[in-house]
Amino acid sequence: MSSYVIVGDGIAGATAAETICEEDSDADVTVITEEREPLYNRINIKEFAKGKMPEDFIRMHEKSWYEERDIDLRLNTNVWKIDPDEENVVLHDGEQIPYDKALLATGGTPRDLPVPHGDADGIHKFWTFVHSRRIRRDLENADDAVIVGAGLLGIDFAYALAENDVHGRYLMRGDRWWRYGLDEEGAEIIHDELRSVGVEPVFGEGVDRFEIDRLGQVEEVVGTTGERYPCDVAGVCIGLDLNTELTEGTDAEADEGILVDEYMRTDDPDIYAAGDVTEFHDVLIGERNINGSWDSAMGQGEIAAKNMVASERGDDLEEFSIVPKYSVSHFSMPFISLGSPTKGEEFAARRYDDKDYRRLAFKDGRLVGAVLIGNVRVVGQLTKVIQNGEKVEDRQDELLEEQIDLDAVAAD
């Protein structure tokens, strides 16, 4: 009987646990998480913060789900380190759990803003269910809020304000929202959407410091331009530091994320990694990639699990190769980020009307990602083009047609 220890009970870790049980009914599986609740839908905590979804709809697994599969679930438990010589996972209380294969599915930790009073009451990060409950509580009594971080997570915070009737100012250091994914024309569509729900984008503005009242509650943001923005709540959505620490003392290596190949193997033959925490060899773009999305985390968890079991048995391994989709559902029109739109070296974009836009990202002549606003019916065709990996740099016009004809894209 092989023992598998999984650190992290997010979608990557929980999917891995489920897959191991399916692949090897005799396996001894332990899942360890520092969170106080079993797997919930991290994507939907934004709907909870908006006040649109009750708690029960966010939960994915009850404790009984683990019991039914004979998985030893440890909640509120921090993994302190991995001891590769003894093949033990060491917990914060000193307990050691032996493994034949360990999976690091540890995700990331949202970054703090390193400015004076950056941790005052009323300043929120947005990553866990606990964060979401606090945000919702504070928004219920707020009038004004400020958001920092012009990316996909910041937009979730913006709509949490909007749905709670809180006036928002959205500070962006550059000249537009998500400048790595969109050009000015595409971003303008999103700026209009924000304004229409009472969130005002403020460009060329960062945070110099927060001002607090006598009780330590945030009351104002002082911008890097010197401008002051009163607020009862602030949302800091400036990205994640990936939780790579557990590779220390092992042969597994980490850069920004934990380095794994397309089979989710680290350099330590008994340690695998999956989900947001990985910096994986992406066969679709031919280089290392980091992908913070639900699809990718779930797919990596499944592949890592299959490969851990296969390697215990001496079987062939399976490669990870999916085109992730990240949908944003807050706007008055659909929005999808497909593949790796920020990895492009060359871009082609078209705006079809007020709320209809497409931007394509190419690398080495191949399509590697796209952002679709409005017409998302072409997602299937674009996914195929990314997956095929054919050189299509001279097919930009065909790929920007409102309806894509794949035969025309493939024609010589």
Ligand X SMILES: Cc1cc2nc3c(=O)[nH]c(=O)nc-3n(C[C@H](O)[C@H](O)[C@H](O)COP(=O)(O)OP(=O)(O)OC[C@H]3O[C@@H](n4cnc5c(N)ncnc54)[C@H](O)[C@@H]3O)c2cc1C
Q: Which is nearer to ligand X, 87 or 348 (CB)?
A: 87
From candidates 79, 150, 305, 308, binder to ligand X by CB under 6 A: 79
Instruction: For residue 32, state whether it binds ligand X (rule: CB under 6 A).
Output: yes
90 binds ligand X (CB under 6 A): no
10 Å Cβ neighbour count for 177?
25
Alpha carbon distance 129, 383 (integer Å): 31
Q: Residues 106-125 vs ligand X: string with x where CB under 6 A?
A: xx------------------
Among 76, 78, 96, 321, the residue binding ligand X under the rule CB under 6 A is 78
Q: Of the candidates 11, 147, 259, 348, which one interacts with ligand X according to CB under 6 A?
A: 11
Shortest CB 321 distance to ligand X, Å:
17
Q: How far apart are CA 55 and CA 4, in angstroms?
A: 31
Q: Is residue 96 a contact point for ligand X (CB under 6 A)?
A: no
Residue among 196 and 329 whose Cβ is closer to ligand X: 329
**Upper half-sphere CA count for residue 215 (Cβ side, 13 Å):** 5
Residue 10 touches ligand X, criterion: CB under 6 A = yes
Q: Does 223 help bind ligand X (rule: CB under 6 A)?
A: no
Check residue 38 for interaction with ligand X (CB under 6 A).
Answer: no
Number of residues engaging ligand X in binding (CB under 6 A): 35
Q: Which stretch binds ligand X (CB under 6 A): 5-13, 167-175, 225-233, 390-398?
A: 5-13
The only residue of 4, 210, 280, 326 in contact with ligand X, by rule CB under 6 A: 326
CB of 200 to ligand X, least distance (A): 21
Q: Is 168 in the site for ligand X (CB under 6 A)?
A: no
Q: How far is CA 179 from CA 145, 186, 391, 397, in A?
A: 22, 10, 26, 23
Task: Return the residue of 17, 20, 31, 45 that touches ligand X, per CB under 6 A.
Answer: 45
Binder of ligand X out of 4, 8, 142, 218 (CB under 6 A): 8
The residue assigned the tokens 């005052």 is 120
Residues 252-281 contacting ligand X, CB under 6 A: 275-276
The Cα 338–Cα 319 span in angstroms is 20
Q: At closest approach, how far in Å is the CB of 332 from ligand X?
A: 17
* Apex 332 CA angle, 331 and 335, nearest 5: 50
Smaller CB separation from ligand X, 303 or 392: 303
Instruction: Determine how many CB atoms are found less than 10 A away from the CB of residue 334.
Output: 17
Contact set with ligand X (CB under 6 A): 7-13, 32-35, 42-43, 45-46, 78-79, 105-107, 126-127, 153, 156, 243, 246, 275-276, 292-295, 297, 326-327
